[in-house]
Structures are given as structure tokens and as C-alpha cells.
Amino acid sequence: MNQTETEIGANGASWHWGEETPDDAILERVRAGETALYEVLVHRHNPRLRCIVRRVLYNDADVEEIVQETHYNALRFIWQFSGRSGFASWLARIATHAALSRLRRRAYSHESSPILSTGERLESIASAQRNPEQQLQDKEMRDALEAAVQALPKPYRTVLLLRKVKELSTTEVAVLLEISEGCAKTRLHRAQALLRRRLHAAPALSG
């Protein structure tokens, strides 16, 4: 939040000012141009925001970045806060949206990346040291694996790709797909079972 910190720190205000002052009173002065006073709100709401973001993202650096981004956007668009809900709730919505957006970008980039049922990346199969016949077998295996993955029902395929290719935790998958962790585990188990059956039946792998 470098831009926000610069803007807040420019007037040299101490965050200790107004610790017991209601959010609305501080926001009124911030809107009037005393942007340095927003630092009071930063310190006041940061602990809760970190907890909210950490439910979605588990990397501390990501958590801090999203919290800073939340304050930057809140200060930038402070005029959009209508006051119908509490300022804490508004910040929570901004933070949750930003965290989920980060998780989706991470999860769905190259979603079609193929995988092995063991969780190994297909790219590790091929080797420049292998002879032409072995390389042909590798290609047939990759094609069979990709076809088997793509043939899975979408709910199973999505969980399989998120867990094994994107390496998200079960909790992250559940949050992203808005399902329970138990459901995410069940879908992964069924996806792996279906994938194994399809691979065993594939001509390229059955010999």
C-alpha cells in the first residue's frame, strides 16, 4: 500500500488520534480532505481484515498485500461508502473480493494443464534422453491422460486440477468453489477413481 501510506503519512498525523472516535466521524474528516486520519482506521481494522483474508489465502505475504490493497481501494473510493452498512463490513467485502480474485487467478491460469493420476505433472514424463520409440509412447500416454482428464465430469475435473496441478489445499479449493471441505475431498477421490478406470481402459496404455 505504498501509495496509501504516502498519502496518509504526508500530513504527519499519528494514528493514536481518535482511537475511541467512531468510524463515521473519522470518515467525515477524511472525506473533507484530512486523509492522514485514515491511518486510524488502518490500525483499527487491520487485525480483523488479516483474519478474513487468511481464510482464503494462506501465504503471509499475500495476506499483507491484499490488506494493503483493501485500504488503498477503500481510501481511493471512500466517496462510494454510503454508510448503509458499517465501515468494517464494507472493508470486509472489499478484502474478500480481492482475496478471492487473487485465488481465482492463481487457480485458473492454465486450467487445462494435464496431470497424472499420481499428481505428477505430465511435463516430467518426457525426456530428451529417450529414443524415438519411447518418445512416441510418451506422447501416446500424454494424449491418453489428457483425454481421460477432459472426459471427467466438470465438478470432478475442476477439483482434480486445482488440487494436483495448481497445488491448492483442500481448504482453498473448498473456499474457491464454495463447497465444504468434505465435498472437495469426495470429489477428488471420485475424480481419481474415474481417471484410473479410464486410463486402464485406454488402448495406448493397456498394451
State the residue range of the domain holding 161: 122-206
When pLDDT is averaged across residues 2-20 and rounded to a whole number, the result is: 46
Within 8 A by CB and 6+ apart from 21, the residues are 40
55 lies in the same domain as 7: yes
Residue 117 falls inside a structural domain: no
When pLDDT is averaged across residues 24-51 and rounded to a whole number, the result is: 92
* 31 or 167, which is more confident: 31
101 lies in the same domain as 16: yes
pTM, rounded to two decimals? 0.54
When pLDDT is averaged across residues 20-49 and rounded to a whole number, the result is: 91
- Name the band, by pLDDT with cuts 50, 70 and 90, for residue 137: low
73 lies in the same domain as 154: no
100 lies in the same domain as 131: no
When pLDDT is averaged across residues 75-84 and rounded to a whole number, the result is: 88
Q: Is 110 left (phi over 0), alpha (psi -120 to 50) or beta?
A: left
In this prediction, residue 174 carries a pLDDT of 83
In this prediction, residue 7 carries a pLDDT of 41
When pLDDT is averaged across residues 83-109 and rounded to a whole number, the result is: 82
Q: How far apart are CA 60 and CA 88, in angstroms?
A: 21
103 lies in the same domain as 30: yes
pLDDT at residue 136 greater than cutoff 70 = no
Report the domain count for the chain.
2
pLDDT at residue 131 greater than cutoff 60 = no
Could you tell me how many residues make up the chain? Answer: 207
In this prediction, residue 23 carries a pLDDT of 92
HSE of 142 in the Cβ direction (CA atoms, 13 Å)?
16
In this prediction, residue 124 carries a pLDDT of 42
In this prediction, residue 133 carries a pLDDT of 57
Torsion of CA 170, 100, 59, 77, to 10 degrees: -160
Residue 159 falls inside a structural domain: yes
Q: How far apart are CA 100 and CA 43, in angstroms?
A: 23
pLDDT at residue 5 greater than cutoff 60 = no
In this prediction, residue 55 carries a pLDDT of 80
pLDDT at residue 67 greater than cutoff 90 = yes
68 lies in the same domain as 150: no
* 97 or 104, which is more confident: 97
In this prediction, residue 96 carries a pLDDT of 85
67 lies in the same domain as 6: yes
When pLDDT is averaged across residues 130-144 and rounded to a whole number, the result is: 61
83 lies in the same domain as 135: no
* Domain CATH for 175: 1.10.10.10
* Domain CATH for 42: 1.10.1740.10
pLDDT at residue 113 greater than cutoff 50 = no
Lowest mean per-residue pLDDT among 61-75, 87-101, 148-162, 189-203: 189-203
